[in-house]
Every structure is written in C-alpha cells, then in structure tokens.
Amino acid sequence: MGLSKDRIRFNVGGRIFETTSTTLANAGRGSFFGALFDENWNLSQQPNDDEEGEEEKDDIFIDRNPDCFAVLLDLLRTGDLNIPPNISERLLHKEAMFYGLIDHLRTAKWGPFDGNRLHLSRSVTGIAPGDGTAIRAGPDGGCCVAHGSVVHVFDWMLEEHPTINLDYQRVNDVGWVDSGNIVLSACERLGRGDGGMGLFSSSSGDLRYKFQVSHDNQVKSYSAGALSFSPDSKIFTSCKGRSNEYGIGVWDQITGKQVDFFYESPGWSLGDADKLQWLNGKNCLLVATLFPRKDNCYISLLDFRDKNMVWSWSDIGSPAMVDEKRVRDAIAMEESNSICVVNEFEDLGFIDLRMDGGGSSVRWSSRSRLMKSKMPDEPCYPKLALHEGQLFSSMNDSISVFCGSDWVLTSRLKRSYGGSICDFSIGGDRLFALHSEENVFDVWETLPPPII
C-alpha cells in the first residue's frame, strides 16, 4: 500500500475532497471505503466513465452530505471527532451508518468502558408514569426501559423509537437479542391465555413472533420472568404455568421454537427466579430466587445437557435470619469460582462454588455499615453487575465500583436528584441507571483519552 502517492479524490455532493488509501484503510474492510479497494488496498474500480473530463474522471462521486463527509474524513485521519455547530448529531449518525463508520464515531465520542472514569453524560426524563421495572443496555449503546406494560426503546443517540405497549400486561423483564430485536417477558392474565415471551423489532416495535411453551405435547399459557441469553442463540426464562408447570424454559432465538424445559423439583424454586445468568466457562445457567419474592433464598447452577442441578445453595435451615443477611441479588464470578451476593445495606458476600452448596456459607464483608442511618423512606433493593473485571453495586441513589482481587471500593457514581436507583445495566460502553422517584434514567460514559 502506497503513502502520499496513493492520492484519491472524492466528489461528495459537488465538493472535492482529496485523501490517501492509507487514511481510508482506517475505515476497515467492512466499510463503504473498504469495498472500493482490493485485498492490498489498491483502488479496484474506475471512478467514472471515460466520457468524463480529464479532471473529473479521477473523482469518485458520492451523492451525500459534504459537510458530514468532511467530519468523518477528519475522523479517519486523526481519530479525533470535531462536530461543527451547523451539523446535527443525528444527521452525522445517519451518514456514519451509510459509510460503515458508526463504530468509529462511537469510539471517538467515548472511550473504552472504565467504571472508575465514568462521567454523567445525560439524563432522560419523563418516560412513563409509575415506577420503572427494568433498564437494559443495548449492544450498540442504546437502551430500553420497561415501565409496567410499556417498553421505551432508544438508539445510541438516545432518540426514542416507537413504544412497545402490551395493553396492560405487565412486563417482567426485557433483553436484547441483537441491535434490531428485543425479547419481552410478561405476566399471564387470567382468562386471556396470553403472557409469556415475544420477540419485537427495536426500530418499529412490531411483534415478530411469540415463544410458546409445550408440556406433554400441548401448548400452555404461562408467565415468563427473568431472562438470559447464551452465545449459541438460546433464550432462557423462568416460567410459571397454571398447572404447576414451574421451571426454566429454553428457546432457539432464531426459530422461536422451544428446545428444552427444566422442571422445578419439590422444595426448590426455579419458576419464580429473580435472576438468570449464563456461565460460558461452566456451560451452566445460574438461577437465583431471592428475598422478598420468597421467604428464603435459592441459588442453583443447572446443566441442561443432562438435566442436572450441579450446585445449589439456600438459606433454609440457617439460624434465624436478620434483614442485614438477606440476599437481595446474586451474580456468578467464574474467574474466582464464586458467587457474589449483596444485602440491602450493600454489604457484599461471597459463596465458594468449589464447595458443595449445602455445606458452604456466605462470607460477608461489611463495607457499608455507615449507610444504615441514611436509608430513604422507600429504598430500592441493591443490584449487582460484573463487567470487564469490575464489580458494580447499586445502593439507594448511587452505584459503587469495586476492583481488585479483594474487591476494594474504588469509586461511587451519584447524581443530585432522581431518587433511588431501581435498576442499572452496562453495555455498548455505557452504564444506564434507572431512578424510581423522578421517572428518569442516567447515561454514564467514559471520556475518550486525550489525543496528543
């Protein structure tokens, strides 16, 4: 590949731009510019017919916005993003999509995710009346927010797409299959035969298909709860049927067909699960049913290959529990072979997966005793997330970040209003936090490193 001698001219909307194949190679093979070159990044197509004038025949004509092209070309040259005030970000987003540079644009707007370097980028208010159910980060930097029977979907520009409305049917959980598709789990309404799960378009809000559950070769109505996804295109959800068909259902997310069902055993809890998490290394599903949904906590690992519960833990039979020991959320940490749990005071606890669940106890670390006197009138239960080796825990109106092998508190994210955080989610290099009182969600981003 040549350097300055490899000059290339573009005519974009009547304006002439000159660059090199070296600069355009920064766009990558999957971009609009990558299609113009052969495998050695030599121009593989003639720009114009021989009928054009000598000066014009070397120009590649593109009938697009020249102002946006200038911004994107500078982005390829320097890695820096400078948007003039006369260009809207939405227009630049559309042009970046056309040229296949959307990832370059997002990377320039914010850097690689780091919980200790996050800053509050934006707050979105007035989504829907009532408390929020869940917020889920999308793979491309957007998000979706569930409120009752309504789900609001936002792209990475935080422009809202058409609302998904389930007609007074409560949404229990929501998850992204990919940037174009969302799965909703919902409660069954007695006498209606509805409920369960559905796949919806994230851009139009249209229902693409429903996920049916069958028992004894008969289609049954059910309530679907917590969701999880595996890399081999499987969808898992906790299920409650009318005839005690409780357990974990499995579907193929491409065909929508049910492929498996793990039935709840007597004395255990699967169908009411609050949390599902697929573990790639162990090829198992974490299922956690937590207080206060049940009086006791149940955490288990399910292996669907041989329909076996390979590990389980419960506080049944433990000494009389006090509130500060009640498990409110749980998350598996495969690298350390442990499960992290949290109580309502943000004290972290750890359960060793290498020990039999029945014989293992929670090793609590009292990190937040001083928070007990500051509990709000209507607190939200803590939530946990693990991302790129950092542990996140929500507590009232803030989110704590823990790092290192001993999980030391390294930073805390907090804003001045919005009330308690009822849910948060990390994805697309962003953290989204949903507040309960002021009907608002926050967007936290990592600033890109300075270009020297």
> Residue 49 in contact with residue 420, Cβ under 8 Å?
no
Instruction: Using CB atoms within 10 Å of the CB of residue 266, give its burial: 0 to 12 exposed, 13 to 18 middle, 19+ buried.
Output: exposed
Does the structure show a pLDDT above 70 at 191?
no
pLDDT band at 271 (very low <50, low <70, confident <90, very high): very high
pLDDT band at 370 (very low <50, low <70, confident <90, very high): very low
What is residue 403's predicted lDDT score, i.e. its pLDDT? 94
What are the distances in angstroms from CA 45 to CA 2, 14, 58, 334? 17, 21, 11, 50
Does the structure show a pLDDT above 90 at 177?
yes
Which residue spans within 44-166 are E strands per DSSP?
A: 59-62, 118-125, 134-137, 143-147, 150-154, 164-165
Backbone angles phi, psi at 362, to 5 degrees: -85, 125
> Residue 358 in contact with residue 312, Cβ under 8 Å?
yes
Backbone angles phi, psi at 66, to 5 degrees: -70, -30
The model's pLDDT over 406-437, given as tens digits with 9 standing for 90+, comes to: 899 999 999 867 788 999 999 988 999 998 87
Query: According to DSSP H, which parts of 254-368 are helical?
Result: none
Q: Round to whole Å and give the CA distance between 295 and 2.
A: 70
Q: Which structure tokens are listed for 362?
A: 């929670």
Which residue spans within 233-357 are E strands per DSSP?
A: 234-241, 247-252, 258-263, 275-279, 284-289, 298-303, 308-314, 329-333, 338-342, 348-352
Mean pLDDT score, 326-353 = 91
Could you tell me how far CA 241 lies from the centroid of its own chain? 28
> Residue 66 in contact with residue 13, Cβ under 8 Å?
yes
Mean pLDDT score, 93-113 = 87
Does the structure show a pLDDT above 70 at 323?
no
Q: Round to whole Å and give the CA distance between 269 and 84.
A: 57
Greater pLDDT, 323 or 274: 274
Helices 102-109/89-99 angle, 10° precision = 140
The pLDDT > 70 percentage for the chain reads 85
Q: Round to whole Å and give the CA distance between 394 and 71.
A: 38
What is residue 130's predicted lDDT score, i.e. its pLDDT? 58
The model's pLDDT over 83-93, given as tens digits with 9 standing for 90+, comes to: 999 999 889 98
Going edge to edge, which strands form the sheet with 207-211?
A: 171-178, 181-186, 196-201, 207-211
- Nearest 5°: CA angle at 133, between 211 and 120? 120
Is residue 197 classed as helix, strand or coil in its secondary structure? strand
Mean pLDDT score, 205-218 = 90
Residue 235 pairs in a beta bridge with 229, 251
Does the structure show a pLDDT above 80 at 405?
yes
The model's pLDDT over 113-140, given as tens digits with 9 standing for 90+, comes to: 999 999 999 999 866 555 678 999 999 8
Mean pLDDT score, 155-178 = 90
Does the structure show a pLDDT above 60 at 371?
no
What are the distances in angstroms from CA 258 to CA 203, 283, 301? 25, 19, 20
59-92 core/surface letters (b: 16 or more CB in 10 A; e: else): bbebebbebbbbbbbebbeeeebebeeeeeeeeb
Greater pLDDT, 313 or 291: 313
Does the structure show a pLDDT above 90 at 58?
no
Does the structure show a pLDDT above 50 at 373?
no
> Residue 353 in contact with residue 313, Cβ under 8 Å?
no
339-360 core/surface letters (b: 16 or more CB in 10 A; e: else): bbbbbbbbbbbbbbbeeebeeb
Does the structure show a pLDDT above 50 at 229?
yes
- Taking phi over 0 as left and psi of -120 to 50 as alpha, with beta for the rest, 344 belongs to alpha
What is residue 378's predicted lDDT score, i.e. its pLDDT? 59
Q: Round to whole Å and give the CA distance between 129 and 134.
A: 14
Is residue 64 classed as helix, strand or coil in its secondary structure? coil
What is residue 180's predicted lDDT score, i.e. its pLDDT? 93
Q: Round to whole Å and give the CA distance between 219 and 200.
A: 21
Lowest mean pLDDT among 203-217, 283-297, 364-378: 364-378
> Residue 43 in contact with residue 36, Cβ under 8 Å?
yes
For all residues of the chain together, what is the average pLDDT? Answer: 86
Most confident among 9-18, 150-159, 308-317, 377-386 (mean pLDDT): 9-18
121-159 core/surface letters (b: 16 or more CB in 10 A; e: else): beebeebbeebbbbbbbbebbbbbbbbbbbbbbbbbeee
